């Protein structure tokens, strides 16, 4: 059937199935409009679904959709997409992959147990948010914002793990979502974080690669490090390895394919 499109469900920033953040990935055989992609993303009901379409220059167009909206940057679905391109035989393992997206051109390299992303650094700047303490039911030690998200630092890892977010108020922020972070109590991890994007249909994301475009420069400056390990302390949880190189952040994580199928539409 000409209308059949293959799809994958992939756990990204994961070392084993059912960890990290699950993404849908569709490698399109023909052009599809945004309405169709949004319906599919809603049907697959993952935090994001990535839609790939090959270009004549051997590069790839890439779009990301939550169940309710299109977004202009998504790390875990890009990690999953890079891995799928090699699993499906479109790109050799280890070869550079160039994606064209709403947020510009990004690169990735797939490996048999993971992938690496080359994303822009998005450092937050100090930001005034009078209701910050109400949003997280905890006392912030620093508040910032970049073009995507608000970032709130708390005093401890325990405070991040215990915090009870006010999702209706977070949805009103002039931002894609809210990052909450603190220094890790584990000596093998630099910091922990959680991420909330109720306005995008994702109350709490499991592992948010693009949030680490802010977290890497934020913690890199405070810790004096260019290589960092961050743990997103969600229900599933996931480890993100980062390397800062000037205006770019390299994000690495494990990838596990958990299901494949065909869209009969």
Q: Which residues are catalytic?
A: 48
- DSSP class of residue 33 equals -
| Beta carbons within 8 Å of 36's beta carbon, 6+ residues apart | 265
Read off the DSSP letter of residue 218. Answer: H
Q: Which residues contact 257 (CB under 8 A, 6 or more apart)?
A: 8, 9, 10, 11, 83, 84, 87
Per residue, the 3-state secondary structure of 147-162, as one string, reads CCEEEEECCCHHHHHH
DSSP H helices, 11-52, are 34-44
CA separation (Å) from 93 to 2, 4, 113, 115? 28, 26, 10, 10
Of 11, 31, 34, whose CA–CA distance to 21 is shortest? 11
Smallest CA-to-CA distance from 124 within 178, 198, 82, 80 is with: 178
Tally of CB atoms within 10 A around 221: 11
- ∠ CA 162-165-166, rounded to 5°: 150
């Amino acid at each position: 059937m000409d209308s059949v499109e293959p799809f994958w469900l992939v756990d990204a920033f994961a070392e084993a199935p059912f960890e990290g953040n699950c993404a849908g990935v569709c490698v399109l055989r023909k052009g599809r409009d945004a309405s169709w992609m949004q319906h599919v993303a809603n049907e697959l009901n993952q935090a994001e679904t990535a839609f790939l379409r090959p270009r004549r220059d051997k590069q790839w167009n890439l779009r990301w959709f939550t169940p309710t909206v299109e977004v202009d940057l998504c790390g875990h679905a890009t990690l999953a997409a890079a891995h799928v391109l090699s699993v499906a035989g479109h790109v050799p393992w280890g070869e550079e992959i160039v994606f064209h997206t709403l947020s510009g051109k990004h690169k990735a390299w797939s490996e048999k147990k993971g992938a690496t992303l080359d994303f822009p650094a998005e450092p937050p700047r100090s930001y005034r948010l009078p209701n910050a303490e109400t949003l997280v039911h905890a006392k912030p030690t620093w508040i910032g914002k970049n073009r995507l998200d608000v970032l709130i630092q708390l005093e401890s890892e325990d405070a991040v793990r215990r915090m009870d977010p006010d999702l209706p108020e977070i949805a009103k922020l002039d931002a894609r979502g809210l990052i909450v972070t603190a220094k890790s109590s584990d000596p093998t991890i630099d910091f922990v974080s959680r991420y909330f994007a109720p306005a995008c249909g994702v109350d709490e994301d499991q592992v948010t690669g693009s949030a680490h475009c802010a977290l890497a420069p934020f913690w890199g400056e405070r810790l004096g490090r260019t290589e960092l390990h961050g743990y997103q302390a969600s229900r599933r949880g996931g480890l993100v390895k980062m390397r800062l190189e000037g205006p770019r952040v390299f994000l690495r994580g494990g990838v596990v394919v958990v299901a494949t199928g065909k869209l009969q539409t």
